[in-house]
């Protein structure tokens, strides 16, 4: 082998070719011209745009958090919380034409609410409802009614914050209208042991000493006549007064706890009964004499019969008005509408437990009397209530003895209570029958609320309105004496189930009604703030005084029609 077998001299062309190319392991060494489009020295790369975009998004988010959000909260407070309430408002009723929602809210292992699938068939009738409950007889035993809604409350740990449940909402407010001592919060209601449990506890909250709950099906589930049945264990002991449990219904046009929506009455005549104070002059004078002089609680209210502001949505409303929910009669006049109240029960204790089972009505009879001969109390241990009303309501009620072992601290059993009514504008004569332990307790026929010549008013109505269901447990000396030293806390009202029955062909769970149509949903949307701001106490007046700040529609008897 010789030296000529090896090329020891450098090939400069080859070396230069290597030096003029980028090196794979040296990203700093790239001798290509920066203007060469094949290089990576471009300014607007995809990665660069993403980086700049993220930084811009982060800057805007921080600006919104520390500048925009405080401004939005401040403006929302000035507008009475209307921005957030209207944004999160759910005012659509449940569409009863399909099988209904399939989800429900429960708590996970850490106690946090979570949405879970209940059953693909969970609709208006709870799948846990026994087959034997799919129909039942009417209160008088003459007609077969069909089940149209049920909730058995068998799933534990359900929650009822706004939006949690397809049928029920627990409100967040102080029920100031009856001077209650408790604050209603969704934290006071849940399901446990196969029952809905509303707990009133001695726990300070929002400057009040007691915490409890009120559940409503408002604007979600309404009934227009039929039979509402509940299985219930009352709180406390029948011998100790103080707790105020209630199961009741109210027209969807009035939302319980939202005072501005509760003005107005359910009455369908155009006469002096629709006027303020049931008199021809707004200051409570001008007759009829009975409206001026037959008030019962003279020391508290004076001799005047009524302090009602008049009927907001009356038959006297001018035909051209655009602020009435409708419908209209064939003669072109509006139906008289209002916030009806029909109570299944309000329980009192002290010696023997009793329920007040009542219908609230207006305008009022002279002296808050009713026409005799149109009521029936079925058991001699029960009687019509001696309290018949005051300046803000006329109450037609009976005091009915409860099953004494159906109390939290006395027997721990459940008892069935119910109310069945056939409303006005149906072929059958209007009536209401209340039930205890599945037996009729007392019946009220529409004739008891017939025309009253002394106060110059017409027939009051057995509610034709779409009515929603309410459960609540309160405490107030305005309803009964409260023996704080004897009450055992917490008080728990337990509802085993709630079921609604209606006649074949008369089914209606819509909050717009069906037999007849009684629209509410569009009117509620139009006045959403009044239905979502519990701090608004009246419809008319100044905002700074707690009023919604709107006016009643123009009224023919006041000369307000064009």
- pLDDT, tens only, 378-400: 999 999 999 999 999 999 999 99
Residue 16 has pLDDT above 60, yes or no: no
| Mean local confidence (pLDDT), 368-376 | 98
C-alpha angle 462-286-365 in degrees, rounded to nearest 5: 25
Give the C-alpha separation, 350 to 486, whole Å.
11
Residue 24 has pLDDT above 70, yes or no: no
- Cβ within 8 Å of residue 473, ≥6 positions away: 182, 188, 198, 199, 200, 212, 213, 235, 243, 244, 245, 246, 491, 493
pLDDT digits (tens, 9 = 90+) for 29-40: 555 555 555 555
| Mean local confidence (pLDDT), 364-377 | 98
Dihedral of CA 236/477/544/528: which sign?
positive
Residue 115 parent element (H or E): strand 113-117
pLDDT of 68: 78
- Whether residue 450 lies inside any domain: the answer is yes
pLDDT of 92: 42
pLDDT of 487: 96
In contact, 367 and 346? CB cutoff 8 Å: no
Please state the separation of Cα 302 from the chain's center in Å: 34
| Mean local confidence (pLDDT), 205-229 | 98
In contact, 327 and 515? CB cutoff 8 Å: no
Give the C-alpha separation, 29 to 23, whole Å.
6
The total of other beta-carbon atoms located within 10 Å of residue 136's CB is 18
DSSP classification of residue 188: G
pLDDT of 90: 44
pLDDT digits (tens, 9 = 90+) for 25-73: 655 555 555 555 555 555 567 777 888 888 888 888 888 888 877 887 7
- Using pLDDT thresholds of 50, 70 and 90, give the confidence band for residue 22: low
Domain of 445? 103-266+333-545
Cis check for the bond before 327: say yes or no (omega within 30 of 0).
Answer: yes
pLDDT digits (tens, 9 = 90+) for 415-442: 999 999 999 999 889 999 999 999 999 9
Residue 498 has pLDDT above 50, yes or no: yes
Residue 7 has pLDDT above 70, yes or no: no
pTM over 0.75: yes
- Whether residue 328 lies inside any domain: the answer is no
Give the C-alpha separation, 244 to 95, whole Å.
33
Q: Nearest CA to 259 among 540, 546, 538, 550? A: 538
Measured CA distances, 227 to 453, 526, 532 (Å) = 33, 31, 29
pLDDT of 531: 98
pLDDT of 72: 77
Q: Nearest CA to 272 among 362, 403, 212? A: 362
pLDDT of 56: 87
- Using pLDDT thresholds of 50, 70 and 90, give the confidence band for residue 358: very high
Distance between first and last Cα of the chain: 127
Helix (H, G, I), strand (E, B) or coil at 193: coil
Residue 183 has pLDDT above 80, yes or no: yes
- The string over 362-390, giving b where at least 16 C-beta atoms fall within 10 Å of a residue's C-beta and e elsewhere, is bbbbbbbbbeeebbebbeeebeebeebbb
pLDDT digits (tens, 9 = 90+) for 307-335: 999 999 999 999 999 999 999 999 999 99
Residue 338 has pLDDT above 60, yes or no: yes
CATH number at residue 201: 2.60.120.200
- Using pLDDT thresholds of 50, 70 and 90, give the confidence band for residue 257: very high
- Whether residue 379 lies inside any domain: the answer is yes
- Whether residue 296 lies inside any domain: the answer is no
Q: Nearest CA to 179 among 474, 383, 411, 461? A: 474
pLDDT of 98: 36
Residue 536 has pLDDT above 90, yes or no: yes
pLDDT of 70: 82
What is the count of structural domains for the chain?
Answer: 1
- Whether residue 349 lies inside any domain: the answer is yes
Give the C-alpha separation, 275 to 91, whole Å.
30
Per the listing, tokens 């809210």 go with 105
pLDDT digits (tens, 9 = 90+) for 453-471: 999 999 999 999 999 999 9
The total of other beta-carbon atoms located within 10 Å of residue 554's CB is 18
pLDDT of 50: 84
pLDDT of 155: 94
- Whether residue 351 lies inside any domain: the answer is yes
Mean pLDDT for all residues in the chain: 88
- Whether residue 196 lies inside any domain: the answer is yes
Residue 86 has pLDDT above 80, yes or no: no
Strands (E), 71-192: 103-107, 113-117, 135-137, 144-151, 169-170, 173-174, 182-184, 189-192
Tokens of 245: 């449990």
Helix (H, G, I), strand (E, B) or coil at 513: strand
In contact, 73 and 64? CB cutoff 8 Å: no
Helix (H, G, I), strand (E, B) or coil at 353: coil
pLDDT digits (tens, 9 = 90+) for 97-149: 333 444 556 666 666 666 654 433 468 999 999 999 999 999 999 999 999 99
Q: For 315, what's the count of Cα atoms within 13 Å in the CB-facing half-sphere? A: 17
Give the C-alpha separation, 103 to 100, whole Å.
9
Give the C-alpha separation, 122 to 278, whole Å.
48
Please state the separation of Cα 413 from the chain's center in Å: 28
pLDDT of 120: 38
Please state the separation of Cα 115 from the chain's center in Å: 21
Residue 3 has pLDDT above 70, yes or no: no
- Whether residue 383 lies inside any domain: the answer is yes
């Amino acid at each position: 082998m010789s030296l000529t077998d090896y090329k020891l001299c450098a090939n400069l062309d080859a070396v230069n070719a290597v030096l003029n190319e980028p090196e794979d392991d040296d990203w700093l060494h790239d001798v290509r011209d920066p203007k060469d489009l094949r290089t990576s020295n471009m300014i607007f790369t995809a990665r660069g745009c993403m980086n700049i975009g993220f930084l811009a998004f982060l800057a805007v988010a921080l600006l919104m958090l520390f500048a925009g959000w405080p401004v939005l909260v401040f403006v929302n407070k000035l507008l009475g919380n209307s921005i957030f309430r209207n944004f999160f408002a759910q005012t659509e009723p449940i569409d009863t034409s399909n099988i209904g929602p399939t989800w429900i809210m429960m708590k996970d292992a850490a106690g946090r609410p979570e949405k879970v699938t209940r059953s693909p068939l969970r609709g208006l009738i709870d799948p846990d409802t026994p087959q034997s409950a799919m129909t039942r007889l009417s209160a008088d035993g003459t007609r077969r009614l069909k089940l149209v809604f049920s909730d058995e409350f068998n799933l534990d740990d359900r929650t009822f914050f706004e939006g949690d449940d397809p049928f029920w909402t627990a409100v967040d407010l102080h029920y100031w209208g009856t001077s209650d001592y408790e604050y209603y919060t969704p934290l006071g209601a849940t399901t446990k042991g196969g029952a809905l449990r509303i707990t009133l506890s001695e726990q300070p909250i929002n400057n009040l000493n007691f915490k409890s709950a009120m559940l409503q099906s408002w604007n979600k589930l309404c009934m227009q006549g039929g039979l509402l049945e509940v299985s219930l264990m009352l709180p406390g002991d029948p011998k100790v007064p103080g707790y105020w449990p209630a199961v009741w219904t109210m027209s969807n046009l009035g939302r319980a706890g939202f005072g501005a929506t509760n003005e107005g009455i359910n009455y369908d005549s155009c006469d002096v009964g629709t006027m303020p104070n049931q008199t021809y002059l707004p200051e409570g004078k001008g007759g009829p004499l009975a409206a001026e002089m037959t008030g019962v609680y003279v020391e508290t209210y004076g001799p005047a019969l009524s302090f009602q502001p008049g009927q907001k949505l009356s038959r006297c409303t001018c035909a051209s008005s655009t602020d009435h929910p409708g419908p209209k009669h064939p003669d072109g006049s509006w139906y008289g509408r209002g916030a009806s109240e029909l109570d299944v029960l309000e329980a009192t204790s002290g010696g023997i437990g009793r329920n007040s089972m009542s219908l609230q009505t207006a305008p009022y009879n002279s002296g808050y009397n009713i026409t005799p001969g149109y009521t029936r109390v079925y058991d001699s241990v029960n009687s019509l209530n001696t309290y018949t009303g005051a300046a803000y309501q006329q109450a037609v009620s009976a005091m009915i003895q409860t099953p004494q072992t159906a109390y939290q601290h006395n027997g721990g059993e459940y008892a069935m209570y119910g109310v069945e009514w056939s409303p006005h504008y149906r072929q059958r004569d209007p009536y209401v029958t209340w039930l205890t332990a599945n037996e009729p307790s007392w019946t009220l026929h529409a004739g008891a609320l017939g025309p009253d010549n002394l106060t110059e008013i017409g027939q009051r109505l057995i509610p034709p309105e779409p009515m929603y269901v309410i459960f609540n447990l309160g405490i107030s000396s305005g309803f009964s004496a409260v023996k704080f030293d004897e009450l055992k806390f917490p008080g728990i009202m337990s509802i085993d189930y709630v079921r609604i029955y209606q006649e074949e062909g008369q089914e209606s769970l819509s909050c717009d009604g069906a037999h007849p149509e009684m629209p509410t949903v569009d009117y509620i949307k139009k006045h959403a703030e009044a239905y979502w701001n519990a701090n608004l106490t009246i419809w008319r007046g100044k905002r700074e005084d707690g009023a919604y700040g709107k006016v009643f529609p123009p009224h023919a008897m006041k000369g307000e029609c064009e």
